[in-house]
Chain A
Amino acid sequence: AQSVTQLGSHVSVSEGALVLLRCNYSSSVPPYLFWYVQYPNQGLQLLLKYTTGATLVKGINGFEAEFKKSETSFHLTKPSAHMSDAAEYFCAVSDKTQNFGNEKLTFGTGTRLTIIP
């Protein structure tokens, strides 16, 4: 069974500081990995995804994540935080063993990011 662990349910950083949100996964097969962002009272928006190929993935709003198979990690980073980055962030993993099966995403419990002015 797949699982996702997000370390830190709440993270606070100062505006302009580095953002680092941690995600570790467990999967018996090569995973597809995702980061989603949820702004207050809104749905989930895809930030970035890793499927195959380059392990450093760039997403929207200046975020990027690196897939490290040896560490089973997919941490999300942004060099300089903006006030508009305040939101909840979810890491998710998908089992892609078959082309036409359940595309279920297994989510972590989320990390709420607060930006300090």
Chain B
Amino acid sequence: EAQVTQNPRYLITVTGKKLTVTCSQNMNHEYMSWYRQDPGLGLRQIYYSMNVEVTDKGDVPEGYKVSRKEKRNFPLILESPSPNQTSLYFCASSRFGHEQFFGPGTRLTVL
């Protein structure tokens, strides 16, 4: 089944404790992206990647890092999480010029 998977689905952590949210797609898509969803703000792009080793900032990249060492994986790294990063995170992937497929989301709470 074609899909985008994210892990973990739910995470509660404390300020400053490094964490990684994984994202994997099995559709051989070149393009991958991370969004965060906050009430009243919709979804905003954090980072994106156009292929292996090619990443760039989206609209709200502060406090986040990404890497793209393999085509299928695009992890989101929070080196020192803060409470304002409490949010619902979505990973998405697509072939260029085609619809984006979204993962099920990761709900992160930073205390």
Q: Residues of A at under 8 Å CB distance from B?
A: 4, 9, 34, 36, 41-46, 49, 90, 92, 96, 99-105, 107-110
**Other A-B pairs beyond A42-B104, A107-B44, A109-B40, 9, CB < 8 Å:** A9-B40, A43-B102, A43-B104, A44-B90, A101-B50, A103-B94, A104-B33, A105-B45, A110-B42
Q: Residues of B at under 8 Å CB distance from A?
A: 4, 31, 33, 35, 40-45, 48, 50, 56, 58-59, 90, 92, 94, 96-97, 99-100, 102-105
A97 CB, nearest partner CB in chain B, Å:
12
**Dominant secondary structure of chain A at its interface with chain B:** loop
Q: Which residues of A contact B33 (CB under 8 A)?
A: 103-104
Q: Which of A34, A103, A110 has the most CB of B within 10 A?
A: A103
Question: Complex: how many Å from CA A44 to CA B104?
Answer: 7
Q: Which residues of A contact B50 (CB under 8 A)?
A: 100-102
